[in-house]
Amino acid sequence: MKLLYPLVLTAAALLTAPLARAHHSFAAEFDRSKPVKLTGVVTKLEWQNPHIWFYLDVKNDDGTMTEWSVQAGAPSFLYRNGWRKDSVKPGDELIITGYSAKDGSHNAFAQQVRLPDGRRVLGGAIIGARLLAALRRLGQIETHLIISPAGAVTAAQEMGLNRQDLEQMADVVHNIRDIGAAVASGSFQSMGMVIAPCSMKTLASVAHGLSDNLLTRAADVILKERRRLVLVARETPLNLAHLRNMTLATEMGAIVMPPMPAFYAHPKTIEDVVDHLVGRILDLFDIRHNEIAQRWAGLTDEFARQNNSDGVQTE
């Protein structure tokens, strides 16, 4: 029996790409039930809109070579996440995980790209989307998704994704105007709810119990049923209204969790930061996972990890 886990995203995105050069829906071109892992040598890289393409020579089990065409995200998004035109060059060996094309051709969508030394040069980085992906990997948690109009605009602007791309990641999708949906009732059993990211407008609506759409009504239900509500509040700096609304939400039982990076984990990419944040969100629901690569074990362990044999001196 699946656990029910209503998950609300006000803005979410991941790296998707079509097979053709035109921009199409991920769901129309790729199959999430067909993961693929490729190790090959880059022969060509195309840095152009709407998506980056790179081509790999991949050695088959019989020793023959097959050329794969792999798509990444939009150049503007990848640039904001640290990619440059020389991040990957012809002759580089890459390890790619992603999804195969539905038509069985040698085309793939790259979810992660690693260099042989383990460094990641590409990966989905938006918190809501990474959280959905992590829950799907667990396989036993049913996700319910609500996307606000502002969230849809954000996904389109930041990632070039349409609403269908996001909806394909969840088990059940609800219209934000459908105030009669299952998640609007306390009799709908669930583990809790995450709003990721949570705008200051949504925070204010939750803090004051407005229930003016399905998103805020579902949050109000979670609070009245004494279930876990996590608000991934994304704003800085904060004014007094923001702080007071956070206080109100906390007093009602919500957990306000700004997406603060854990620098002690020595993140090398934005994706490393996001993976840690997603892991911490899952921790709040006591969900076992492997999203956190390095948990804090104390300064002694940290210095030992850095090959500092002197340890920590305390007074």
What confidence tens digit (pLDDT) does each residue in 295-308 have?
888 988 888 877 75
Q: Which CATH number fits domain 26-123: 3.40.50.720, 2.40.50.1010, 3.40.640.10, 3.30.413.10?
A: 2.40.50.1010
CA–CA distances in Å: residue 58 to residues 16, 39, 41, 44, 160: 22, 6, 7, 13, 29
- In the chain, where do the E strands start and end? 3-6, 30-46, 53-59, 65-71, 93-101, 107-114, 120-123, 141-146, 172-174, 192-198, 228-233, 255-256
Binned at pLDDT 50, 70 and 90, residue 11 comes out as very low
Q: Which neighbouring-strand residues pair with 108?
A: 70, 100
* CB proximity list for 83: less than 8 A, separation 6 or greater: 52, 75, 121, 122
Higher-pLDDT residue of 272, 202: 202
Q: How far is CA 161 from the centre of its chain?
A: 13
Binned at pLDDT 50, 70 and 90, residue 98 comes out as confident
* CB proximity list for 134: less than 8 A, separation 6 or greater: 278, 279, 282, 289, 291
Phi/psi at 150 (nearest 5 deg)?
A: -65, -35
Higher-pLDDT residue of 53, 269: 53
Asked if pLDDT for residue 16 goes beyond 60, the answer is: no
Cα distance between residue 55 and residue 119, in whole Å: 19
The radius of gyration of the chain from alpha carbons, rounded to an integer in Å, stands at: 21
- pLDDT at position 18 is 23
Asked if pLDDT for residue 250 goes beyond 80, the answer is: yes
CA–CA distances in Å: residue 6 to residues 161, 174, 192, 194, 291: 22, 10, 6, 8, 20
By the 8 A CB rule, do 258 and 232 touch? yes
Choose among 117, 164, 124: nearest CA to 145: 164
> What percent of the chain has a predicted confidence (pLDDT) above 90?
39
Higher-pLDDT residue of 76, 169: 169
Q: Which neighbouring-strand residues pair with 141?
A: 3
CB atoms within 10 A of CB 242: 18
Cα distance between residue 45 and residue 68, in whole Å: 12
CB atoms within 10 A of CB 42: 17
Exposure on the CB side of residue 281, measured as CA atoms within 13 A: 34
Q: Which of 88-92, 127-131, 157-161 has the lowest mean pLDDT?
A: 157-161
- pLDDT at position 35 is 81
Q: What is the CATH number of domain 3-11+125-284?
A: 3.40.50.1950
What are the start and end residues of each CATH 3.40.50.1950 domain in the chain?
Answer: 3-11+125-284
Asked if pLDDT for residue 21 goes beyond 60, the answer is: no
Instruction: Give residue-wise pLDDT tens across range 133-158.
Output: 788 777 778 889 999 988 887 766 66
